[in-house]
Amino acid sequence: MARLPRFILPGYPQHVIQRGHTRQQILFEEEDYWFIWDKLSVAAEKFQCDIHAYVLMPNHFHLLLTPYQENGIGKLMQYVGRYYVQYFNSRHERHGTLWEGRYRATLVDPNAAFLLQVAHYIESNPVRASLVTLPSEYGWSSYGSNAEGIEDRLLTPHREYARLGRSAKARREYYAAQAMRPLDEGWIKRIRDATNKAWVLGNPEFCQEIESLLNRRALPRPRGGDRRSQAYRRGVGVVS
């Protein structure tokens, strides 16, 4: 089945994933990680995108970012993808496709309840992949900056992050405490489904807002059931 068109709305955060073709490894050496990190930094500034969280994994990468141009994310991903393929093929003496295809993305409710869950989902990826025991042990993610204050020029804090505490220390401590709580399977499935299927990730009111702005459905239709029932109405975001 063809993928749904992406939700494009400047000023709203999105969760983006790009994987290697057939999930093949795309990052091998430290120089590979530094190269793609640098290109992401250049592209974020060039195409007016604020990156709030990220992780670079051996065979894919995640971004939580807010674009301020309608085509900002697309241009960023194209820029990074093109330059990295050229670098990678030359350095590793290979040819052919590197990426699995177009990147996957979901529009994210900017409410802290959703935004922080996506950030924690991204930064805990190495833990779920059994590469490390704690997010703090993995060097190629935004956790070090968001939770420990390590300088990372790739990042621009979202306004919701600024509301986590009155001081930088308080914000980091709050963020780290929340990150120590493992995401439950319900949140993990919800984030994955929304991203892989191009649906909006947010509360019912936010989804209704997006439907009104873009004149398209933000959530899949529930299968079966009484269309007049409270459960059905809740499923499509008519009631909270």
Query: Which CATH number goes with the domain that contains 208?
Result: 3.30.70.1290
Residue 234 counted as domain residue: no
| Cα–Cα distance, 206 to 198 (Å, whole number) | 15
Residue 225 counted as domain residue: no
For residue 45, the enclosing domain spans 14-219
Where residue 189 falls among pLDDT bands split at 50, 70, 90? Answer: very high
Residue 116 counted as domain residue: yes
Name the 3-class secondary structure at 119: helix
| Cα–Cα distance, 183 to 180 (Å, whole number) | 9
Q: Over the stretch 144-162, which tens digit does the pLDDT of each residue have?
A: 999 999 999 999 999 999 9
Give me the chain's average pLDDT, please.
Answer: 89
Q: Tell me the one-letter amino acid at 204.
A: P
pLDDT of residue 223: 61
Domains: count for the chain: 1
Structure tokens belonging to residue 43? 């592209």
pLDDT of residue 232: 37
Residue 233 counted as domain residue: no
Q: Over the stretch 74-133, which tens digit does the pLDDT of each residue have?
A: 999 999 999 999 999 999 888 878 998 889 999 999 998 899 999 999 999 999 999 999
Structure tokens belonging to residue 41? 């930094």
